[in-house]
Structure 1
Amino acid sequence: MDAKTDDNQPTKVLFIGGLGRSGTTLLERLLGQLPDTLPLGEVAHVWERDVRDDEACACGSAFSACEFWQRVGEAAFGGWHSVDVDRVVALKNTVDRTRHIPTLASRRLKGPQLELVSEYVSHYRKIYDAARSDSRARVIIDSSKHASLAYCLRWCEGIDLRVLHVVRDSRGVAYSWAKEVSRPESPRGDEMTRYSPTRAAMLWNAQNAAFGLLRRRGVPVRRVRYEKLMADPRGVVRRLAEWAEIPVTEHQLRYIGGDYADLGPSHSAAGNPMRFTVGRVPLRYDDAWTVGLSPTRKTLVSTLTRPLLSRYGYTEPAPQPTGTVTVQPRRPSDADETATESVTAGASDE
């Protein structure tokens, strides 16, 4: 990167959150092409999938053979061999869970809890700082998704945290979680986790509600609807870059067309298999759920998620399958404007 960074300043981290299968990896790939940004993938999984299991980096090399990640590990910890993975995982199980969000959302943490959270997030800060120094990027992108991790990171003074909360229609998310998806980075040929429609609906509620509360705790949060991203990818990315204070010109956005994006290689450490895709990628609104999800399951998921579906503007009739690459953006309602008030002055949601 040509940009110069001030090592005395907190590292700016753009955290992409939301329930998986909502378009978070795609958004990371699009934002990761911007100047002065560095996408790291789902850093939450580095400890087990990469340091311990040596899965593949998005560059195609095993984690242990990726020169970028080895430089980061050396700068952050004196080498990945120095990381006590069992300790990090134990801390994760102790503080980084959805059930701990009410405590993490408190205005103050008690001494013992604060010590554990501080120890846990210090590992992330070291990775972010080392990656920033190595790349000279101004903004580090972490697409870990989990709201509980975002709540932990808010307690780290060395991180300038901003959150992109990605939302997709709960019925589309539920349909996607039921599909079989292989994990090509896994040497054991593992598949991604699958959830029943009921389980997916409950997780959708929990994760999305948590990001709404995070906004009220003073963390800058901007909501991004998957459907709107697909309808206007370049416009959405341009506005998100402006919100995140990433200088960008229209010429620098030319990699995003009306229905495609030209994506280069990255060192994403974990995430959806599409992180391995390089070259021209079609941007298609995935509406397969409108015919693939049975009426019974549609009703079930709609009922379980109705309050937030209404808040996010998904209570209109489900779109009809078109097979086209774009969808028409919905005009925001007055209820949306009230529900999406941002901490950052002048910012509006996508």
Structure 2
Amino acid sequence: MTPEATPDLPRVLFVGGLGRSGSTLLELLLAQSPDVCAVGEVVHLWERALGADERCGCGERFTACPFWQQVGERAFGGWSQVDRDETLALKDRVDRTRHIPRLAKGSLGADELADVRRYADLYTRIYRAATEVTGARVVVDSSKHASLAFALRWAEGLDLRVLHLVRDSRAVAYSWGKQVRRPEVVDGEDFMPTFSPFEVSKLWTAQNAAFHLLASRASVLRLRYEDFTADPAGTVRRLRDFAGLPDDPDALRILTDPPAEPVRAHSIAGNPLRFSGGPLQVRRDEAWRTRLPRRSRAMVSLATLPLRVRYGYLGQHGTDPQSRTEETP
């Protein structure tokens, strides 16, 4: 069931889950339509954009990107009006995994509620400004953090729709073990963090379990990465419907042969894929099946077993025809 649109409220499709699950590729596909504005992982804006002036997905540094400067002007009267240190302190009080149990409650104390709504309002302002600058009807935020999604459910004046994106835990563990350079870093060289298979197992379970909890409190649509790559066009149509957008055949031109030139998104953080200027290729990455060490694979399989069963990842190929997109009203 598609959530009913609320007039005049900024509408955001929040992509949640654990990183390395295909969110950047999915976001870029959605951004090929003019009624969608993809902004990347806004949760990292305070450190990586305002703090380090890293490159936007368009290739320009944050301070040189016309889109983000217009957004800052409309949202806050300019980015210089945002107290970054105060925002980071507020983020620490609100947006951490350890805060999810209290954010999941039916009510909050006056001081807690004030903090959460103040923090969520920063994002609401950014989303609203992004729609005003671009004329888009929906903003895609691929921040993924469950704690931010829980905070946003307390926002005043926000139409929140959450996509819970899931990928086989063994594939995710393999991906987090690779060293990947961050091309958005201009002054020097930096790499995305790496995690051991055991650490990934804990993170994968915690994040996905958190979105199950959120589904009882907000509008959540669950999608497996493997189903997305098997049917990208169908996935885009389902997500546009979930976001309250009409079908747009032109949005799928990127998947034609030959593919259309992709529209680059003004994304904050994310997979280095966002900087590639070539055609977007949607294919299922199965390298983990031969490259993830057998012992690591066994450990991850066992540690994440309950949710792997729920998502249909017990078969030889990690797919189950009965396990498709699930929606929670």
TM bucket by the smaller chain?
Answer: over 0.9
SS in 1 for 2:116: helix
**Structure 1 residue aligned with 2:301:** 302
Could you tell me which runs of 5 or more consecutive residues in structure 2 were left unpaired when the two chains were aligned.
none
| Separation of aligned partners in 1, 2:262 and 2:142 | 17
1:331 aligns with 2:321: yes
Q: Report if the CA contact (8 A) 1:22-1:168 is conserved.
A: yes
Show the counterpart of 2:264. Answer: 265
Question: Cα–Cα, structure 1 residues 69 and 33, in superposed 2: closer, same or farther, change >3 Å?
Answer: same
Task: Give the alignment of 1:138-287 within 5 angstroms.
Answer: 138-187=137-186, 188-217=188-217, 219-257=218-256, 262-287=261-286
Deviations 1:7-31 (A, max 9, x none): 9711000001110000011111111
CA RMSD of aligned residues (A): 2.0
Amino acid at match of 1:311: R
Shift of 1:257: 3.7
What is the TM-score when the length of structure 1 is the normalising length? 0.88
Deviation at 1:250, TM superposition (A): 2.9
Distance 1:314 1:260, change over 3 A: farther
1:202-258 deviation digits (Å, cap 9, x = unpaired): 0000000111110111x1111111111111111111121112211123344222248
How many Å apart are 1:318 and its aligned residue? Answer: 4.2
CA distance in structure 2 between the partners assigned to 1:246 and 1:205 by the alignment: 31
- Distance in structure 2 (CA, Å) of the matches to 1:106 and 1:144: 22
Q: Which whole-Å deviations, capped at 9, do the CAs of 1:297-345 have from their partners, x for residues lacking one?
A: 11100111000000000011246xxxxxxxxx63115xx79xx4x333x
Task: Please say if 1:343 is aligned against 2:328.
Answer: yes
1:159 and 1:44 map into 2 onto residues whose CA distance is 16
Moved runs in structure 1, 4+ residues, more than 4 A? 258-262
1:244-287 residue CA offsets vs partner (Å, 9 max, x unmatched): 21112334422224897752122112211111123312222110
Q: Mark the CA change 1:264 to 1:243 in structure 2 (over 3 Å): closer, same or farther.
A: same
- After superposition, the Cα gap between the structure-2 partners of 1:100 and 1:261, relative to the gap in structure 1 and judged at 3 Å, is farther
CA contact (8 A) 1:261 1:281 kept: no
1:100-136 deviation line (CA, Å, top 9, x unaligned): 1110011111111101111111111111111111111
CA–CA distance in structure 2, aligned partners of residues 238 and 86 of structure 1 = 40
* Equivalent residues, number: 324
Check the 8 A contact 2:28/2:264 in 1, yes or no: no
Between 239-248 and 196-205, the greater mean CA deviation after superposition: 239-248
Whether contact under 8 Å (2:31, 2:263) holds in the other structure is no
2:47 equivalent in structure 1: 48
What SS does structure 1 have at the residue aligned with 2:280?
Answer: strand
Q: Aligned letter for 1:331?
A: P
The within-5 A match list for 1:36-75 is 36-75=35-74
Q: Is the 8 A contact 1:264 1:278 kept in 2?
A: no
Q: Tell me what 1:324 maps to.
A: none
Residue identity in the other structure for 1:41: G
- Aligned equivalents of 1:92 and 1:14: distance in 2? 21
What is the TM-score normalised by the length of structure 2? 0.94
Give the match's secondary structure for 2:306.
helix
| C-alpha contact (below 8 Å) 2:27/2:140 kept by paired residues | yes
Question: Measured at CA, do residues 201 and 52 of structure 1 come closer, stay the same or move farther in structure 2, by a change above 3 Å?
Answer: same
Greater RCO (Cα-Cα under 8 Å, separation 6 or more): 2
**Structure 2 CA distance, aligned partners of 1:50 and 1:118?**
22
Partner of 1:326: none
CA shift, 1:158, in A, is: 1.0
* Superimposed CA distance per residue, residues 158-188 of structure 1 (whole angstroms, 9 cap, x where no aligned partner): 1100011110000000000000000011122
1:32 partnered with 2:31: yes
Distance 1:166 1:8, change over 3 A: closer
Is contact 1:39–1:268 with CA below 8 Å preserved after alignment? yes
Question: Which residue of structure 2 aligns with residue 347 of structure 1?
Answer: none
Q: For the residues of structure 1 that align with 2:124 and 2:250, how far apart are their CA atoms?
A: 33
Aligned counterparts of 2:140 and 2:284: Cα–Cα separation in 1:
23
Would you say the 8 A contact 1:14–1:161 is kept in 2? yes
1:93 is matched with which residue? 92
CA contact (8 A) 1:11 1:160 kept: yes
Whole-angstrom CA distance in 2 between matches of 1:260 and 1:173:
28
Code of the residue aligned with 1:19 in structure 2: it is L
- Are 1:18 and 1:165, in contact at CA under 8 Å, matched by a contact in 2? yes
- CA distance in 2 between counterparts of 1:155 and 1:115 reads 10
Counterpart residue number, 1:110? 109
1:23 paired residue number: 22
Alpha-carbon spacing, 1:296–1:274, altered in 2? closer, same or farther (3 Å): same
